[in-house]
Chains A and B, each alone.
Chain A
Amino acid sequence: MPLLEINDLQTHFRTPDGVNRAVDGVSFQMGEGETLAVVGESGCGKSVTANSILRLIPEPPGKIAGSIRFRGVDLLKLSDKEMRRVRGNDISMIFQEPMTSLNPVLTVGRQLGETLRLHQRVSRREADARAVEMLRLVGIPEAKRRLGEYPHQLSGGMRQRVMIAIALSCRPKLLIADEPTTALDVTIQAQILDLMKDLKAKVGAAIILITHDLGIVAEVAERVMVMYAGRKVEEAPVEKLFRTPRHPYTQGLFGAVPKLGSSLAGNLTKLAEIPGVVPSLKQRICGCVFATRCASATDLCRQSAPALELKAPGHLAACHFAPKEALAA
């Protein structure tokens, strides 16, 4: 049984001027201990997908449909109370903004111990001891003193470490990291990523890593899912995706990554940008969602939506023209 199996996930938001289909029919699976990266531009539905898994979407105006099976149980069918037992315990989450994700008026120790006390029968003293242990694990010096400190007394990197400690304190099976390093300095980013890799080995949690930084993807992910306009457009093991991206959107993303030192080497080529913007998700899109921005779009693309197809072993892409490898029979 896969750890997580999502089928035809649809997260829609009712707005005054129509329904916003933020996530529109996304399906994927994850095994135990696997690391899946979800990439795409801003507004392509990555975060909404992540928040939908933990049902953190406010309903209404949001509405989640489809199925999210976690170890065989459909999370969308659980009561609020049952769902609370999953959050922070079986599945936990780290967010993009370490500056604002911690409660400014509660101590670090309180916020860390709270998760333990919500899900496990531990006394306050035990919770404190475990909190110190977790802070040490995420590499925070003077852990004991930090328990009594408030978030504003910590740096951004430290706060994200605290967030990780909170997320991992109940040893979840799945950790969802929504752009965990975007708001941090580059050097701190590397530290946090190393920490996540290290802890993954220790705790054994599967990770969904949401990012728009392809460098991070190459570094930590095993499999990559590319999202565009609320849909999955490509999915492949990381080496395959980096070697032969098959969807024009994925190719566009790679083209838009600056190469370190390229301008110094006299190579003054412009970064290849993807023209245009993500289409409005409030109208039904017929044809390929990427057709309006795709250089090689034809009438076929504009009229019929390409299905996700196996283009090579383990490599899915939704494009009429993506080259197909001869699949071993």
Chain B
Amino acid sequence: MLAHIFRRIVATIPVMAIVALFVFSLLYIAPGDPAAVIAGEQASPEDVEKIRKGLGLDRPFVSRFGEWSWHILQADLGTSMFTGLPVTQLIVQRLEPTLSLMVVTLILSITIAVPMGVIAAWKAGTWVDRGLMAFAVLGFSVPVFVVGYVLAYVFALELDWFPVQGYTPLSAGFWPWLENLVLPAIALGCVYIALIARITRASMLEVLQQDYIRTARSKGMGQSGILFVHALKNAAVPIVTVIGIGVALLIGGAVVTESVFAIPGLGRLTIDAIVRRDYPVIQGIVLLFSLVYVLVNLAVDVIYTLLDPRIRY
């Protein structure tokens, strides 16, 4: 078991190396000249050339990639072309709001979606099932920003239950922190909830047909025990898979959600960096998100072995 986890961790190294190479190449693939951007519209070709040299853009690809990688391993992601601040510092400053939003969304979505899917499967074919699945389709089809504005209008402006926008750091207290995250988390979670609920339903429907469910019933086990112990643990592998894959949805959605709710997180930093062609910042963010995604999928793999004793690598 431990050996398996260790092997999986080691296997993430080449994955991250390939990601790093790709991220680095972005600079070459992407149109536009960063030196020209920095120099501004009125700069002469000599000025641009000078800046290019200063950035080291004239040196060969391999040597620059080597140097860049070496710095990354020391948590040095370079310097922002625009603000002149270290990228690592910029990211760390913006990390907490985004991480908070994602974690709250993840927990909220799972606690809503999994019971929703389980109940839909149990009541398959009835109006309860149809109602829940119609809700899921709705969650899937309405874009994040629409849901976000509707939620903010109803629950913040009209009912005044939650703040309209902004972010309070966790250090200011748990409730103020959570209060600010509820609406963004629901808005961001909609698609995710719909996805998890549908997969849970489908997986549960299959499991509920199995012989061991009949065995559990023949022992005198109650409905909730059958659903949440005997069935859910068997149905869990596809559910965990989709939760892992869905983290990519969250990363993309966080960017939009942060602008709707004016949360000063990585999403805003990303948009600003892209608009300004601030390559070191873009590279740092993409690298970070890739790392998160790789780590989530590593966690998913480890959870598989905990859920199903038949899975051994």
A71 adjacent to chain B (CB < 8 Å): no
Q: Which B residue's beta carbon lies closest to that of A163?
A: B215
CB pair A103–B230 under 8 Å, yes or no, is yes
Q: Which residues of A contact B79 (CB under 8 A)?
A: none
Selected contact of A115 from candidates B214, B219, B307, B309, CB within 8 Å: B219
Give the residues from 74 to 123 in chain A that come closer than 8 angstroms, CB to CB, to chain B: 84-89, 92-93, 95, 97, 100-106, 114-115, 118-119
- The secondary-structure label for the interface of chain B is helix
**B210 and A100 contacting across the interface, CB-CB below 8 Å:** yes
Contact A152 B215 (CB under 8 A): no
Contact of A54 with B230 in the complex, beta carbons under 8 Å: no
Q: Are B219 and A104 in contact (CB under 8 A)?
A: no
Q: Residue of A at shortest CB range from B221?
A: A118
- Min CB distance, B8 to chain A, in Å? 21
Partner of A118, one of B214, B219, B234, B309: B219
B222 / chain A contacts, CB cutoff of 8 Å: 84
CB contact under 8 A between A86 and B220, given known A104-B310, A105-B233, A106-B233: yes
Question: Which residues of the other chain, A, contact B211 by a CB distance below 8 angstroms?
Answer: 95, 97, 100-101
| Complex contact A152–B310 (CB within 8 A) | yes
Quick check: A103 and B220 within 8 Å, CB to CB? no
Residue of B nearest to A166 (CB): B219
- Give complex CA distance A92, B158 in Å: 58
Q: Is B216's beta carbon under 8 Å from chain A?
A: yes
Residues of A within 8 A of B307 (CB): 105
In the complex, are the beta carbons of A103 and B214 less than 8 A apart? Answer: no
Q: Which of B214, B220, B229 contacts A89 (CB 8 A)?
A: B220
Of A102, A119, A150, which contacts B310 at CB under 8 A? A150
A88 interface neighbour in B218, B229, B233, B309, Cβ under 8 Å: B218
Asked if B218 contacts A93 (CB within 8 A), the reply is yes
Is B212 within 8 A of A104, CB to CB? yes
A203 within 8 A of B: no
Give the one of B230, B233, B308, B309 with max A CB within 10 A: B309
**Chain B residue contacts of A106, Cβ below 8 A:** 229-230, 233
Cα distance A152–B308 when bound, in Å?
A: 11
CB pair B212 A102 closer than 8 Å: yes
Q: Does A56 contact B (CB under 8 A)?
A: yes
A85, A93, A105, A118: residue with the most chain B Cβ atoms closer than 10 Å? A105
Mask for A41-72, Cβ within 8 A of B = 1, else 0?
00000000000001010000000000000000
Q: Please indicate the chain B residues that have their CB under 8 angstroms from the CB of A92 in the complex.
A: 218-219
Known: A97-B211, A100-B211. A88 touches B310 (CB 8 A): no
Do residues A103 and B216 form an inter-chain contact, with CB atoms below 8 A? yes
Q: A104-B234, A105-B234 are in contact. Are A84 and B220 (CB under 8 A)?
A: yes
Q: Which residue of B lies closest to A105 (CB)?
A: B233
Which residues of chain A in 137-180 are interfacial with respect to chain B, using CB atoms and an 8 Å cutoff? 150, 152, 163, 166
Residue B53, interface by CB 8 Å: no
A120 to B210, CA, bound (A): 27
Contacts of B217 in A (CB 8 A): 56, 87
From A88, A95, A119, A150, give the contact of B214 (CB < 8 A): A95
If the complex has contacts A150-B309, A152-B310, are A84 and B230 also in contact, measured as CB distance less than 8 A?
no
Chain B: CB-nearest residue to A103: B212
User: In angstroms, how far is the closest chain A Cβ from the Cβ of B125?
Assistant: 9
- Which residues of A are found within 8 Å of B220, using beta-carbon distances? 84-89, 115, 118-119
The distance in angstroms between the C-alpha atoms of A152 and B218, with both chains bound, is 21
7 additional contacts (CB under 8 A) given A103-B216, A104-B308, A105-B234: A101-B215, A103-B234, A104-B310, A115-B219, A119-B220, A150-B309, A152-B310
Which residues of A line the B interface, CB within 8 A? 54, 56, 84-89, 92-93, 95, 97, 100-106, 114-115, 118-119, 150, 152, 163, 166
Instruction: Give 16 pairs: A residue, B residue, CB < 8 Å, sorted on A.
Output: A84-B222, A85-B220, A95-B211, A95-B214, A102-B212, A103-B215, A103-B230, A104-B234, A104-B308, A104-B309, A104-B310, A115-B220, A150-B310, A152-B309, A166-B215, A166-B219
Closest 8 CB pairs of A and B: A88-B219, A87-B220, A88-B220, A100-B211, A103-B212, A150-B309, A84-B220, A93-B218
